[in-house]
Chain A
Amino acid sequence: MAESETPKLDELEKGPWPSFVSEIKRAAENAPNKHMAQDLLRQLERSYNDKIGHWKHGGIVGVKGYGGGVIGRYSDLPEEFPGVAEFHTFRVNQPSGWFYTTEKLRQLCEVWEKHGSGLTNMHGATGDIILLGAPTAELQPCFDDLAEIGFDLGGSGSDMRTPSCCVGPGRCEYACIDTLDLLYNITMEYQDELHRPMFPYKSKIKISGCPNDCVAAVPRSDISIIGTWRDNIRIDPDAVAEYANNGIDIQAEVVDMCPTGCMSWDAETKTLTIDNAECNRCMHCINLMPKALRPGVERGATIMVGGKAPIVHGALLSWVIVPFMKMEPPYTEFKELLEKIWEWWDENGKMRERLGELINRLGMRSFLKAVGLPPVPQMVKVPRANPYYFWDPEEVRKNGH
């Protein structure tokens, strides 16, 4: 048997976890454009030996009518690895909640085998389907075929990035908003913002149906929409008793872990009581006993802004700006707010300044004023501890004291 060209990568075909190396090899053996995956393997083995990447810095590529959605990628060793000399990525907008028919996925596979390497990421961290590796000449024909089967591009560069959402009402009883519909509605409304970069930097929107935040909206989206409720947790007393009988220690695991201390448990009568006025809707008790406890029925979303990873000035978690907003189609109130936020950011943001960083630089006060939101205590963890605050001189004079 011939010696393997990729001894290091071969090591990663061993072990129980599914192997990406085996996947690249499948494409290297069977894909119509198999030379691409073959050279990807060789170049990657080279990186494993050299301990350094072998891709060049960016390069602008694209398809007609779009400013983003394709990421240019060139090998820095094109003579050695011609199959990946041009190895560009498509970001393809996923359907809400990543639901697919097998028919649709097969169509996608067919297009991608025809034009590209046959390798994908299902999915990228932003949510898009990532088609990994096409030469420049295939970009337009590939997009034309994608359009034919109803797959549009996602975002890249300084635009609204492809928004994403949790499974929500598709399969989760905690969903307080229709995450799938809201996502589709926003994506369709802002196609221009998605496809043609014209903001100071990227802008991410993510939607979770409840405070469990399964799509990680708070840490990684500039605009985070989190489903919540305003009224009382619904209790099914029989189901509570059933959990107690089936091995949950309700005092220790539920009541004592409630962060607000608003629950009490009578073990004799197997009665759980919640002082709903004091509940902060953290989801802990509901997560533990989904059959017995359910979010209330007066539902909407908390709107938070500013979340981002560290680049440039450090990581931020999104901050509450609207504690509760109704979220029903056509979502007019939300869209009006979103447009005001974008407008303020677009006007004031420096190049590569994310929304959270701009709010930090100009102050939450300026932001709230610009978008017309009143200050409420739900916005802060604690009020300020320094005396360096501002007044509007005209207002001070006008009031006369």
Chain B
Amino acid sequence: MATRTDFGPPYYKDMLPPVVQKNYGQWKYHERIKPGVLKHVAESGDELYTVRVGSPRLVSTFWIKDVCDIADEFCDGYLRFTSRHNLEFLVSDKDKVEPLLEHLKAKGYVVGGTGHSVSNPVHTQGWIHCHTPATDASGIVKAVMDELFEYFVDWKLPAYCRVALACCLNMCGAVHCSDIAILGIHRLPPVIDHDTVRAKCEIPNVIAACPTGAIRPDPKNKSLKVNEERCMYCGNCYTMCPGMPLADPQGDGVSIWVGGKISSARTPPKFSRLVIPYLPNNPPRWPEVTSAVKNIIETWAKHARKHERMGEWIERIGWERFFELTGIPFTMQLIDDFTLAPETYRSTPAFKW
């Protein structure tokens, strides 16, 4: 039998619970009942309760079947996932909400991530499944969320806080607009393996791939060479050519970026900004990273006004005050020198001490 192709994903309407089918596009308002629980009310008067559950994202089929059992028992056999790797149980019968919550608690699931909380960190593959990482992804996320757990299950923050992690500059999770972004970085230029370059790489394409023009032909070796002073370890060359690996246990580590946002509420979307250029890879618990993230979140929580996102708070108080309050040292790497750098330099003598 020839396999059919191009038939597309399962038709979404077949996947919607009856209460959603009935009230599709007719939702009137919602309330946040308590952390992790939303109530949506439709024009028809129907109510839909959502219970949001944190997941490690990397799950076995056994986990999927377990949550299917729960959805069969409490949600008529339907469930959904969110854009941040959370799982949501959709309950149309109010009387089932508390029993569901108790059941989840008994089975060790974590409920939260709504409202003024830290939601599930969007993250990538790391050492589990990618060839270019400068750090692991799931491991840091686990360590950080253990540390921030109280902020997932409760509303203790001025606004919500999105944490995201990508394990190299490719940034598969597109973490660059997060309140806190954890980004794996290399710090040493590629080490060229001439045999592999000759065997496997299209030399002009590799040269063209380098954003800083650091790569030159090496006619003597019929290979490439790198002007190491111009290399900022982005890994573009390695993406194009397996003969230019740059992972290195001493060079690799983690950087921290803050103040990005995605929604347009109050202020337009913003990029996250570099505040800590390097922290070491220290598995299995990355203590330097978890304490840095916690410090930033708690400093923000202490000083920000209600509804003020990380980036909005920093814009109000000024970056000089951010570094003072968090105690983070300001280093040369934090001053931009890439293409749009001048936009980030200050052109006014108005600032704080």
Contact = CB atoms under 8 A, between A and B. Distances in A.
Interface of A: 8-9, 11-12, 14-21, 23-24, 26-27, 30-31, 37, 40, 44, 47-48, 50-58, 63-66, 73, 87, 89, 93-106, 108-109, 112-113, 118-127, 132-133, 140, 143-144, 147, 150-152, 164, 166-167, 169-173, 175, 178, 180-181, 183-184, 187-188, 191-192, 195, 211-216, 218-220, 239, 253, 257-259, 281-284, 287-288, 290-291, 294, 308-315, 317, 350-352
Contact of A101 (B60, B78, B123, B283): B78
A212 B176 CA distance: 17
B61 A31 contact: yes
B27 A312 contact: no
B334 interface: no
Contact of A48 (B81, B129, B136, B271): B136
Interface stretch (B8-16, B94-102, B216-224, B291-299): B8-16
Given A12-B284, A290-B29, A122 B146 contact: no
A226 to B, nearest CB: 8
A53 B247 contact: yes
Q: Which of A89, A150, A171 has the most CB of B within 10 A?
A: A171
Interface in B3-21: 3-12, 14-17, 20
Nearest to A89: B129
A302 B322 CA distance: 34
B3 to A, nearest CB: 5
Contacts of B61: 27, 31, 109, 112-113, 118-120
Interface of B: 3-12, 14-17, 20, 24-25, 27-31, 40, 48, 50, 54-65, 68-69, 71-72, 77-83, 85, 87, 90, 108-110, 122-124, 126-133, 136, 138-139, 142-143, 145-146, 149, 152, 166, 169-174, 176-177, 205, 208-209, 211, 234, 236, 238-239, 242, 245, 247-249, 252, 260, 262-267, 269, 271, 281, 283-285, 306-307, 338-340
A124 B174 CA distance: 12
Contacts of A287: 265
Contacts of A98: 80-83
A101 B81 CA distance: 12
B56 A119 contact: no
Contacts of B17: 99
Contacts of A14: 146
A282 B264 contact: yes
Given A58-B131, A102-B71, A171-B27, 4 more contacts: A58-B242, A147-B5, A308-B174, A313-B339
A99 B15 contact: yes
A170 B16 contact: yes
A286 to B, nearest CB: 9
B56 A18 contact: yes
A184 B77 contact: no
Contact of A19 (B11, B56, B85, B209): B56
Contact of A284 (B14, B57, B177, B265): B265
Going nearest first, the 7 A-B pairs with the smallest beta carbon separation are: A15-B146, A220-B174, A57-B242, A169-B25, A96-B12, A102-B68, A17-B145
A164 B139 contact: no
Contact of A172 (B14, B27, B90): B27
A211 B15 contact: no
A240 B138 CA distance: 43
Contacts of B5: 64-66, 147, 152, 195
A140 B252 CA distance: 37
28 contacts: A12-B285, A15-B149, A17-B152, A20-B138, A20-B142, A30-B62, A37-B60, A47-B127, A51-B249, A51-B283, A57-B242, A64-B5, A98-B82, A105-B79, A108-B64, A119-B61, A120-B61, A123-B57, A125-B123, A152-B8, A173-B28, A175-B25, A188-B8, A195-B6, A291-B28, A291-B31, A310-B169, A314-B339
B264 A213 contact: yes
A66 B5 CA distance: 8
Contacts of B71: 102
Contact of B262 (A27, A167, A216): A216
Contacts of B6: 65, 152, 191-192, 195
Contacts of A213: 262-264, 269
Contact of B11 (A40, A105, A184): A184
B9 A44 contact: no
Nearest to A87: B129
Nearest to A168: B25
B140 to A, nearest CB: 10
A101 B8 contact: no
A314 B338 contact: yes
Nearest to A104: B10
Contact of B236 (A44, A119, A284, A312): A312
Given A51-B249, A65-B3, A120 B59 contact: yes
